[in-house]
Amino acid sequence: MTAAGGPYRQSASTIRFDWGMPGALAVVEGAAVAVVVDVLSFTTSVSVAIDSGVEVFPYRFRDASAAAFAATRGAVLAVGRREAGTSGVSLSPLSVRAAAADGVLGGGGKLVLPSPNGSAIARQLGEAGVPVVGASLRNVKAVATWVRSAAGRRPVAVVAAGERWPGDLLRPAVEDLWGAGAVIQALLDAGSGPASPEALAAVAAYRDLGRSLVRALSSCASGQELIADGYGDEIAVAAELDRSSRVPVLQGESFRAA
């Protein structure tokens, strides 16, 4: 891995925070665990899948290579939301939940879940040998408890995946800032720390969020995009704060429950 060095590593802090793939590569150096946050919708969908006993393979792109990869793993390949329609599996956590309930995935099923953001970051860090956890608002306390136990006093890198502008530039997405802030707050409450100023800024954003997660997620740019495209029902799943007690850990190629 190549990454920005020097102060960008936040090496003086036990809890570090940054954005996207470049930020992940900067703060992960020397970290015991990397926590990837992609609230709308990769890590929320991973959490829903893990709750249903489904093994999730992160993948960078939804292309011919993804189809071949899924075939060799005996897995279902998630497709685009429009392509999936009402019965297929996509990046939508509702589609993952429905597929698990209908037996398309079910207990012991396998799912390849491509995403250029959270999935790509998790896969690259995993290939570099970094232990990776998938965090969303659904499993904040469970993730913090597991990470605190696994990392001890060693550094933890929390990464907000963000979204993409046209031209493939990183778009910081406030929902991932909130999710990262929730995880960092829970880590601090569990006795981890100190946190970098960047990590504390994420905590402050989460603390200022207020009580209505659904309202906040619906009002932010990513939520508005989902609503405009007809997928606003997914937001309620992303807002299921601490509904899950399971922790998705990337073990080899796939996320499984810790």
12-52+117-253 maps to CATH 3.30.300.30: no
pLDDT at 2 over 60: no
- Closest Cα partner for 240 from 3, 56, 51? 51
Model confidence pLDDT, tens digit, residues 160-171: 999 999 999 999
Beta-bridge partner residues of 125: none
Long-range contacts of 202-210 (CB under 8 A, 24+ apart): 202/17, 202/158, 202/160, 202/177, 202/178, 205/174, 205/177, 205/178, 205/181, 206/177, 206/178, 206/179, 206/180, 206/181, 206/182, 207/181, 209/178
Confidence of residue 3 (pLDDT cuts 50, 70, 90): low
Q: How far apart are CA 133 and CA 167, in angstroms?
A: 28
The domains of the chain are located at 12-52+117-253
Q: How close are the terminal C-alpha atoms of the chain, in Å?
A: 26
Model confidence pLDDT, tens digit, residues 140-188: 999 999 999 999 999 999 999 999 999 999 999 999 999 999 999 999 9
Model confidence pLDDT, tens digit, residues 28-83: 999 999 999 999 999 999 999 999 999 999 999 889 999 999 999 999 999 999 99
pTM beyond cutoff 0.85: yes
Torsion of CA 144, 150, 156, 157, to 10 degrees: -80
